[in-house]
Structure 1
Amino acid sequence: MPFSDVPEEMLDELVGHETVVGRPNLSLIHAVADWLDGHGISCRVLVGPEGDRANLFATIGDSEQPGYVLSGHVDVVPAGEPEWQADPFTLRRQDDRLIGRGACDMKGFVAAVLAAAPDLAKMTPAVPIHIALSYDEEAGCKGVPHMIATMPELCAPPLGCIVGEPTGLVPVLAHKGKAALRLRSRGVAGHSSRPDLGTNAIHALLPVLAAAQAQAQALEAGGPRDDRFAPPWSSLQIGTVAGGQALNIIPERAEAEIEARAIAGTEPRTLLAPVIEAAERECVATEWLSSYPPLALDEDDPLAALMAEMSGFAPIGAVSFGTEAGLFQQAGIPAIICGPGDIARAHRPEEYLTLPELHACHEMILALGRRCAA
């Protein structure tokens, strides 16, 4: 089905592109660019350093005037769960549910924006509306920093950014930040009967993992608190551990991945400092996988009032998941989260967005356009 200004048809097309995180997305990005160009909307395809995936930035209105950014990611998590009842990359309708990978997180928001784009263009808004689509958000917001770095060449400093992650269209003022770290240890292989002739790579990791566990416990027991979040403290966890070939072989290699999630006011990477110190003592290599800052928008910010009016809901304090909103704020652009659906449906089999949710978001985007054209 070709792109359409009918939101559910647009969502059908978007879900049909298997833009799994870490994989190419150029076919979708170029299709979106062609759709926008066909409606006279200026856009730029911004290929990332990977070469096979890109961000997209489009402007409706005068780019030299301050405006609003509608930000969403087009990558989705894998869909290998056996509980899917049909092809997860073919949108299907069941009553009012639109089911497919990414329908809720967050191609539903992107579909609402793109379906509204032709009408927004006809409004010729005096305050421009920008569409910012990014890649590899699910890998720690890896794509959007390249776009943010280019934005001074693309538009005047924006008045604000609306990130359309699923919040039930309730504006959200804050979220946690995140940092992810990989640990790698190297040993010397040998027969397990002669440990004196080898070096166990897994054993080398253990003091570092113990430091991670201790830091996690310290953050929960005595770290800073912010009751807007659940849990109200910064957290740290060991997510993966791998190493060894067989029980009777001294493991030559081992690695682990650790993440920290930081409440507002805390730099996520600092939470992993005790882990890095332990790794240096044990000669374990470290590699940053990703990081993005927390979001903390003042409740008195004009963007909060605008989104309360557009959505019909009063802003709430915080969510514990992360988004690119913190990166926009770090770049000096006020940011807020507001999108259709429920985050509890994300990253699960039979992920869905309801038809009323999709249409309500579409109407919210059009309302923003009318406000910008007034």
Structure 2
Amino acid sequence: MSDLARTRAILADLVAFPTVSADSNLQLIAYAGDLLSSAGARLSVSLDPSGTKANLFATIGPEGDGGIVLSGHSDVVPVEGQDWSSDPFTLTERDGKLYGRGTCDMKGFIAASLAMAPRFAAARLRRPLHFAFTYDEEVGCLGGQALVAELAKADIKPSVAIVGEPTLMGVIEGHKGCYEYTTEFTGMDGHGSQPDKGVNAIEYAVRYIMRLLELGEELKLRAPAGSRFSPPWTTVQVGKMAGGNARNTIAGQCSVEWEMRPVHTDDSDHVKAELAAYVDDVLRPAMRKVCAHADIVTHVVGEVQGLLPVSQSEARDIVFELTGAHEAELVSFGTEAGLFQSMGMSAVICGPGSIAQAHKPDEFVEIAQLDACLGMLERLQQQLSAKD
């Protein structure tokens, strides 16, 4: 069986596992672990606190530091409410494209990596090759955060990470961070005819949002000179607000879901400090003049670090050589690459498929893209093979 045929067969199996972030990924992890174990890889599987999800970290080649990581997340976004032309969890081919949930984001890269594992195992590699497959990337890179903590605890020190998010096999060297929050406002409900007798959680949520938007305008002035990001500054955005029961009732509860995409951590520190001061000095004291138990609490959904472009990058140089590319770009979407960079690793993003297809109905990856990915991995195997 050719590498491409094997990749396609593995991708069909991966797509058949409905690993939506809300559900378990254990069957997929067990399947991938079996393939890697059969190729002679050394495996480490770690469960999340619920015991229903897991990360898989596997190694082929010699022990020691300085390895290369092939990284992919196993979870996918939901399909409910989307109009698919075929079963999203059955791989379907049409006109040179393979359709199914996760085909480009990012089970195509995982399938290619698994298909190539026997070839890596058959070679005498000069440095370790690691496979890192995580859970819950789509809801805050939770598995990735756990993985880097586990690697640090085990004193495992790879030097390069190739994250196979869909880039049409282009080389991506940077993206902003993605920080997500839910802020809950607890007031005191009452009759709408006497608003002074209660604490309207919606009103305080609106004031909080207005301060957040003011900070968003300030951030435009903090854009680094020569920033290549689009837009070049750190952004804030309110995605959802919910609260209250009826128009004639003082709202006792309200929640605001918002995000921040920092260019660098100084901006995120600034926003969080300014919001905390506004809550502590202005909003909460005003609320508690009426109700001693009124409160504002912000919950961190996820704070995923960005991937900072750097002048010297081993990962970028390696993937340039593997793909023949000469330029690296930046993207607006987030990945786990910044987590690997935070460990001191050189990280880059390069994988099959287009981000334009991700999260949409009839998600697909072109067969030609999988073939190009296999070509990159084959050249990586040749590059890592020991010379006699």
TM category, shorter = over 0.9
Are the aligned partners of 2:65 and 2:159 in contact in 1 as well (CA < 8 Å)? no
Change (3 A) 1:156 1:244: closer
Q: Please say which of residues 219-228 and 99-108 is displaced more in the overlay.
A: 219-228
User: What does residue 13 of structure 1 align with?
Assistant: 13
Are the aligned partners of 2:182 and 2:255 in contact in 1 as well (CA < 8 Å)? yes
SS at match of 2:158: coil
SS at match of 2:132: strand
CA deviations on 1:244-281 (whole Å, 9 max, x unpaired) are 12222222210001111012564645434333333333
CA distance in 1 between counterparts of 2:205 and 2:305 reads: 28
Q: CA RMSD in A?
A: 2.0
Are the aligned partners of 1:173 and 1:296 in contact in 2 as well (CA < 8 Å)? yes
1:89-238 superposed matches below 5 A: 89-152=89-152, 156-221=156-221, 223-238=223-238
Aligned AA for 2:100?
G
User: What does residue 289 of structure 2 align with?
Assistant: none
1:77 aligns with 2:89: no
CA distance in 1 between counterparts of 2:86 and 2:274 reads: 46
1:225-264 superposed matches below 5 A: 225-264=225-264
Change (3 A) 1:5 1:279: farther
CA distance in 2 between counterparts of 1:157 and 1:119 reads: 24
Change (3 A) 1:30 1:371: same
Which stretches of structure 1, 4 residues or more, deviate above 6 A after TM superposition? none
SS at match of 1:131: strand
CA distance in 2 between counterparts of 1:118 and 1:231 reads: 43
TM-superposed CA distance for 1:301, in Å, is 2.2
TM-superposed CA distance for 1:306, in Å, is 1.0
Change (3 A) 1:14 1:72: same
1:286 aligns with 2:298: yes
Change (3 A) 1:330 1:82: closer
CA distance in 2 between counterparts of 1:169 and 1:217 reads: 35
SS at match of 1:296: coil
Aligned AA for 1:102?
G
SS at match of 1:83: coil
User: What does residue 293 of structure 2 align with?
Assistant: none
Aligned AA for 1:232?
P
Q: Please say which of residues 53-62 and 337-346 is displaced more in the overlay.
A: 337-346
User: What does residue 292 of structure 2 align with?
Assistant: none
Change (3 A) 1:314 1:240: same
User: What does residue 370 of structure 1 align with?
Assistant: 382
Are the aligned partners of 2:61 and 2:121 in contact in 1 as well (CA < 8 Å)? yes
CA distance in 2 between counterparts of 1:133 and 1:215 reads: 37
Q: Which runs of 5+ in 2 are unaligned?
A: 285-295
Q: Which has the larger radius of gyration?
A: 2
User: What does residue 35 of structure 1 align with?
Assistant: 35
Change (3 A) 1:221 1:264: closer
Are the aligned partners of 1:74 and 1:133 in contact in 2 as well (CA < 8 Å)? yes
SS at match of 1:168: coil
1:296 aligns with 2:308: yes
Q: Which runs of 5+ in 1 are unaligned?
A: none
- How does the TM-score come out when normalised to structure 2? 0.90
Change (3 A) 1:264 1:292: same
TM-superposed CA distance for 1:347, in Å, is 1.5
CA distance in 2 between counterparts of 1:269 and 1:349 reads: 37
Aligned AA for 2:323?
S
Aligned residues: 371
TM-superposed CA distance for 1:153, in Å, is 5.9
